[in-house]
Chain A
């Protein structure tokens, strides 16, 4: 019990401090005062006026890490959410372009297709793992790059809006836009509904349902799962699909709620940021929302800091990389 709670504390400390440490070092390197940088990061992330934006960015992290936390509970390491988000977004936009005039029904269909595409994309490495024994970490990681280039091709080619200067799809019909609910902000229904659904769902599924324990048995030991008659292969494929589906939905939410079209920069690394959140949430589901909001805020704050100080623009990639590396030891946490 002690081991578990101390790994949660360590995990939270890593997630909280790693981005701050990374940006401090980067600003030192680029000759900017660390206190200036941190000021802008915090102001940009967590000042009252910026909280809505932090929430906005937390939403795809939250949706994605929900699915991932279930997979991680079974120690199935889907780290390909970024690709699943991108493909979900593009599919959602593409189908949305054909659904103009359907309103809420069109929105729902677009979300479902986004989710299906993300889910099927994740299922490929899942199937390879079950039937060919291919390590899903490599599988999902490679699928990220495939997704990146596929999306880039689609947006430069077949799906590119003829009227746009940039590689992006045409705008969706207005009736498919999920509009801001709070005036003066971009806070839309996704931002409000996702926590309301996901926070209790994560807690109940992981800590209060038979599913959480079943996934844990699979994660503990394949032999153990066989002893109890659990079909590990099925569990792997279902959790892979489910986590990919939610990644796709996250991509869809960005399209429908914010950009109203698909563009290459639709995910600000949310698929990577969701990984450490999900690792911790699989141990302590109640932390899924605070951590998502924190990282959403930090991402936003870093962008604000970049605009105000001369910090290199690649800094957000560094943060993603640092968090990803920091997540690696965390995958061993809470285990004997």
Chain B
């Protein structure tokens, strides 16, 4: 710990809960103490609640329950501007900059909200960005900047405007590796001027040498807060890794369920690169094969690229380069993570179950008997709790709606089944039954590709898996450097 640490924490969160409008619980009773002059790293998987917690501390959203104390005074910020005036700034993961304005104008907006001199701030920000390796023209429009430059600008603004504390959500996510390292060094220099930093990350290795203290979040609760003291980088990695994934993922079983020996190849991805909507490559030169009866999981550590990979295999997107071969005539079905993307929420459950045949067939009168029969078949198999098949789909709970759509897709005799985030936001029972479904579909001779951000999914399903990190696919069983905690390094 640095010598300048204060005894009293400057920011304290007590029993903070956040339940979003849809009913999703992002935080359930989190405590956190931030001391003046420290670099505090929030670690956790995708969905652990890191971003939500930062947003609450910065006034972007309000907690559903719980208290925040700033310098001992109970304080829940009403807006980011409110927090800024108290010297707490935040750099968001997605850019919070105004695209249509210039870099300079964006700086002025923040200066005004924080009540500080705009020209002075402008100079500081441009100079910080320069330190990071980004030469920004203050008069260039934000929309013309690259994602990395935008993040550098946003981070530079936050560093210079937050007199008390600077909160940064995945500050290095879009920057180059060298800039990321500079940034983390830069934080250390700023600490000496009396600032405090709270940053989130999912990359243990990257932040191992950075933090004074680490808080590990898991599914909306605090697992542990670890003080660095005299642990060296290797030790801290081990300690953090153990806490981040209690079972240590040693329990995952390699190999597949069902018959894999004689399965014909159903999917062959050959040196494919896939870009997201912003043009950032989320998969680079990846090659893998999938045979009938096989299950393969791709685990994206930061959750990036999950949807894009699924959509590309299903055929909704084209790879930027490389080839994706699906056996000709193969029937592909796709279970997305978000039911609303593939259903009409205000139409009855039964219609949604038959939507594929209704929409792709000839124009005809609705065969209500068949629709009803199919609905009962799917619902019975899925064990979803459906009060009436003629009620709109949106009247179901999220878990039940997902079951219905998952079983609808899986029971359509696919040759290739693509499953996106099989267990996201599901309770343990539902997660297990989805895992069972995947295994049984594979044992019936389908190839199943699971793409997920949940580290535990491969062990839950019991399948081979690959790690997706920084766009590259890694094999956890053959790579030595990922031995401690596969995926997090």
Contacts and interface: CB of A to CB of B under 8 A. Distances in A.
Interface in B282-314: 314
A220 B392 CA distance: 15
Nearest to A4: B346
A1 B355 contact: no
B363 A228 contact: no
Contact of B359 (A214, A221, A334, A336): A214
B361 A210 contact: yes
B386 to A, nearest CB: 16
B402 to A, nearest CB: 16
B346 A3 contact: yes
B347 interface: yes
B342 interface: yes
Which of A3, A224, A334 counts the most B-chain CB atoms under 10 A from its CB? A224
A223 B336 CA distance: 12
Interface in B307-366: 314, 316, 334, 341-342, 344-347, 351, 355-356, 358-366
Interface in A285-336: 334, 336
B360 A230 contact: yes
Given A3-B346, A216-B347, A223 B359 contact: no
Main secondary structure of the interface of A (DSSP, over half): helix
**Interface size class, chain A:** 20 to 34
Contacts of A225: 359
A98 interface: no
Give the one of A3, A4, A210, A214 with max B CB within 10 A: A210
Interface string B357-393: 0111111111000000000000000000000000010
Contact of A217 (B355, B364, B366): B355
Given A209-B365, A210-B363, A210-B364, A336 B345 contact: yes
A228 B346 contact: no
Contact of A227 (B342, B364, B392): B342
A214 B364 CA distance: 11
Contacts, number: 61
B392 A213 contact: no
Contact of B347 (A213, A229, A230, A336): A213
A221 to B, nearest CB: 8
B482 to A, nearest CB: 35
A226 interface: yes
Given A208-B366, A210-B362, A213-B351, A228 B345 contact: no
A108 interface: no
A226 B346 contact: no
B364 A230 contact: no
Contacts of B366: 208-210, 213
Interface string A204-246: 1000111101101100110111111110000000000000000
Contact of A210 (B341, B344, B359): B359
6 contacts: A1-B392, A210-B365, A213-B358, A226-B316, A228-B359, A229-B360
* Shortest beta-carbon contacts, A-B, top 6: A228-B359, A211-B363, A210-B358, A214-B359, A213-B358, A227-B342
Given A213-B359, A336-B345, 9 more contacts: A208-B366, A210-B365, A216-B344, A217-B355, A217-B359, A224-B342, A227-B316, A227-B341, A228-B342
Interface of A: 1, 3-4, 204, 208-211, 213-214, 216-217, 220-221, 223-230, 334, 336
